Amino acid sequence: MKVLILNGPNLDRLDIRDSAIYGELSYQQLCDRVGDRARKIGFEPDIRQSNNESEIIGWLHEAADSSTPVIFNAAAFTHYSYAIRDAVSMLKAPVIEVHLSNPMSREEFRHTSVISGVATGSIAGFGVDSYLLALEAMRSLLQK
Q: By the criterion CB under 6 A, which residues form the site for ligand DQA?
A: 10, 73, 75-76, 78, 99-101, 103, 110
Catalytic (active site) residue 22: yes
The least CB distance from residue 10 to ligand DQA, in Å, is 5
**From CA 98, how far away is CA 26, in angstroms rounded?**
17
Nearer to ligand DQA, 37 or 110 (CB): 110
Nearer to ligand DQA, 68 or 101 (CB): 101
The least CB distance from residue 123 to ligand DQA, in Å, is 10
Give yes or no for a contact between 105 and 125, defined as CB atoms under 8 angstroms apart: yes
The least CB distance from residue 15 to ligand DQA, in Å, is 14
Nearer to ligand DQA, 10 or 116 (CB): 10
Exactly one of 27, 99, 111, 131 is catalytic; name it: 99
Catalytic (active site) residue 79: no
Give yes or no for a contact between 61 and 19, defined as CB atoms under 8 angstroms apart: no
Which positions are catalytic?
22, 99
